[in-house]
Structure 1
Amino acid sequence: MTLALLPPPCRLLFQTRLLSLTLALGAFSLHSHAGEAHKPVKAAPASQHKKNTRAANKPGKPLGERPEILRFAAELAKEQGWDEASQKRVESQLAQALSLPLVQRLIMPAAAGTAKDWAAYRARFVEPRRLQAGLAFWEKNAASLAKAEAQFGVPAELIAGLIGVETFYGQITGGFRVIDALATLAFDFPSGRSDRSPFFRSELAEFFKLCRREGLDPLKIKGSFAGALGWPQFMPGSWNRYAIDFDGDGHVDLINNQADAIGSVANYLAQHGWKPGQPTHYSLAMPVETSARASLLAPDIKPSFTLAQLQALGAQPSEAALEHTGLLAVVELQNGEAAPTYWLGTENFYALTRYNWSSYYAFAVIDLGRTLANLRKDQSGR
């Protein structure tokens, strides 16, 4: 959905159909938009993915020279100190942007009442085809992954896992023109949910700044239905704030340059509190008492409890957790009709959720990356 990537960018994330449409429309993580919970939902069948992809390519209605478009262009040009010709160029490009009904539909929250099932969610990501692509990605980019781990302290396996969850290693980066997606949500945001048009106007401005700086044509760049870009699915604002030129070629390119994508993901996590050497989670035994469980789960995935507070509420952290010195969160993963499982999330687990406000997402990244690392170890031992 990532990815982005807002305060912290990634993600005050929307409860969208992000992951249910990942296979056709590009993973979407509203980087720097963390605040609204993202709920995993059932994946759409392949026929629906094809239908949505065809719909994404149907022409929408041009925005034209609406007053709010002209005002946006004038304000952006004034803020950036651009000349009149640059302002007119923005006006012309926005006039050609299309307002897409499909984007309006996709940004709406998923239907309520969908049962969560961690095993089913995990199986969408830790599966043979993605693992094969992940091994090839790691092999090709081993030097960049090692460099990122050394420079930022983010394990190579987590960087590889995150890019795999976001875009299937560059295979699914989105088929919407970013200018259409952002303009639709900036100026024609649908009713029926909280209005996020100010956020998308800000991202649209960031998109124009990005295109001007990197010499990109705003009418040609494609991404997710929410405007996320490239291998790591950064929102334009996250690209401008956290993307880095990791291979030293003088450009920051998250669309074609895998080294830049790797370094930018590591930098993003480092800027959002990643602590080198710290685990992402520990096991624990939950108390039986209902009110104690409710108190432990109330802060959601934000680390809020000391070990003493956890134990006072009846939780039993694992031996490894007893060595932890920071705050911890109690994380619940629902398992359909079966009983939930519970974990203690560290500051590093929370840093992963800055990319996407979802414990399911974070564990998918962790498990995909760990599985890849184990497979590489097995291969090297042969």
Structure 2
Amino acid sequence: MKKTAPWTAAAIFLIAACALPASAKPENQPKSAAQKAHAKAGQAHQGRASAKAPVLYASRPEAMEFADDLAARRDLDREWVRQAIGQAHFLPQVPRLMLPPAKGTAKNWRVYRSRFIDPIRIRAGVRFWQENQATLERAEREFGVPAEIIVGIIGVETIYGQQMGTFRVMDALATLAFDFPAAHPRAKERTEFFRRELEQFLSLTNRSNTDPFEPRGSYAGAMGLGQFMPSSWVRYAVDFDGDGRVDLFKSPADAIGSVANYFRGHGWTPGMPTHFGVQFDHARLQLDDLLAPDILPTFSAASMLAKGAVLDAQGVQHTGPLALVELQNGNDAPSYVAGTENFYAITRYNWSSYYAMAVIELGREVAAAR
């Protein structure tokens, strides 16, 4: 979990599928080919800006006021905070990457899926699983999260550490905290979100005695193999390799344990399937009612049946709430599944049913390829 650029219809969909609400994690939005090209161009621009005269936030009164307030509330050294924020670079390409796609953009699950369920990711996933099998088994025992879900997340996010981002996190967070695009429909909420993330990042680097300009990540400030935002790092990151420190960049064990802990913290239920197959009895189908709650599990198996959604044999026996999940396929008929509370838990990583299905299916393909 991005960008605006000269679009093809397929490229636009890939962003639309991951449009996030205020509470979601923008760092987890997958990127289209056009977006990747735009990001590379942005990184080149970032390098050229450093060689020229970058715009620093020391010149912005509201940024310095924020620094003073943050230092007072967090009991941090005022001059250290002012210097950190003041020396952050404004990245002009980053606000553009946050703008949502044009309305009416067609979504296509098959195209989206093909970007993540491919031979490169599957082969890399098999290697990652083989190299970290004991750690994945331990995480599954301790947190109740299946190895294939953890493998699916890290594969979708960074291809198992191959693509963790090259933006200075300090620059990205400062840019989004003080220059989030006003044209965004949730600009106020998003600005507040990124100011909280900037605060968490500075507190984290201060506690760990890390230079805040050292970490690199996504243009949204996400870090490491699992692309954790600073607040997620603070709440859910764990020292799973037992070396006395948390390192989500270089320690696969820490990343594995932290992803599993994240899901446990967002309501993962051990042993529960993520979704069930569903067909329709069109004579009594109330599709609008079934889709109204979106991906929030709301219906019992019986109430779904009463509204014309016929679950598979396993789904009929499920006792928890369910959501009818629609995956559009462009001009073709949509695909549907009945998502459980564990499906919903995956969407807490990225508020997108397309993302959740990609994670689930990548993990399954890697498991089968082993």
User: Common fold, TM-score beyond 0.5?
Assistant: yes
Give the C-alpha shift of residue 115 in structure 1.
Answer: 1.7
**2:154 pairs with 1:163:** yes
Q: How does 1:199-214 map to 2 (within 5 A)?
A: 199-214=193-208
CA distance in 2, matches of 1:93, 1:40: 29
1:132 is aligned, of 114, 117, 123, to 123
1:232 is aligned, of 226, 230, 236, to 226
CA distance in 2, matches of 1:17, 1:343: 30
Give aligned pairs, total: 353
Unaligned runs of 5+ in 1: 2-14, 22-27, 377-382
CA distance in 2, matches of 1:301, 1:318: 19
Give the C-alpha shift of residue 125 in structure 1.
Answer: 0.7
Q: Residue 215 and residue 206 in structure 1: after superposition, are their counterparts in 2 closer, same or farther (change >3 A)?
A: same
Q: How does 1:188-227 map to 2 (within 5 A)?
A: 188-193=179-184, 194-195=186-187, 196-227=190-221
1:175 corresponds to which residue? 166
Give the C-alpha shift of residue 112 in structure 1.
Answer: 2.6
1:102 corresponds to which residue? 93
SS of structure 1 residue aligned to 2:313: coil
CA distance in 2, matches of 1:164, 1:40: 11
Q: Which has the higher contact order (CA 8 A, sep 6+)?
A: 1
1:108-149 C-alpha deviation (Å, 9 max, x unpaired):
112333221111111111111111111111111111111100
1:34 corresponds to which residue? 24
Q: How does 1:316-335 map to 2 (within 5 A)?
A: 316-335=310-329
2:359 corresponds to which residue? 365
Q: What amino acid is aligned across from residue 78 of structure 2 in structure 1?
A: Q
SS of structure 1 residue aligned to 2:328: strand
CA distance in 1, matches of 2:103, 2:60: 36
Q: Residue 217 and residue 129 in structure 1: after superposition, are their counterparts in 2 closer, same or farther (change >3 A)?
A: same
Give the C-alpha shift of residue 69 in structure 1.
Answer: 2.2
Give the C-alpha shift of residue 49 in structure 1.
Answer: 5.1
Give the C-alpha shift of residue 20 in structure 1.
Answer: 6.3
Q: What amino acid is aligned across from residue 297 of structure 2 in structure 1?
A: P
Unaligned runs of 5+ in 2: 13-17
CA contact (8 A) 1:31 1:354 kept: no
Percent identity reads 51
Give the C-alpha shift of residue 90 in structure 1.
Answer: 1.2
Q: Residue 304 and residue 31 in structure 1: after superposition, are their counterparts in 2 closer, same or farther (change >3 A)?
A: closer
1:58 is aligned, of 25, 34, 48, to 48
Q: Which moved more, 1:364-373 or 1:61-70?
A: 61-70
Q: What amino acid is aligned across from residue 63 of structure 2 in structure 1?
A: I
CA distance in 1, matches of 2:286, 2:130: 47
Give the C-alpha shift of residue 46 in structure 1.
Answer: 6.4
Give the C-alpha shift of residue 30 in structure 1.
Answer: 8.2
CA contact (8 A) 1:170 1:230 kept: yes
1:379 corresponds to which residue? none
Q: What amino acid is aligned across from residue 96 of structure 2 in structure 1?
A: R
Give the C-alpha shift of residue 272 in structure 1.
Answer: 0.4
Q: Residue 29 and residue 159 in structure 1: after superposition, are their counterparts in 2 closer, same or farther (change >3 A)?
A: farther
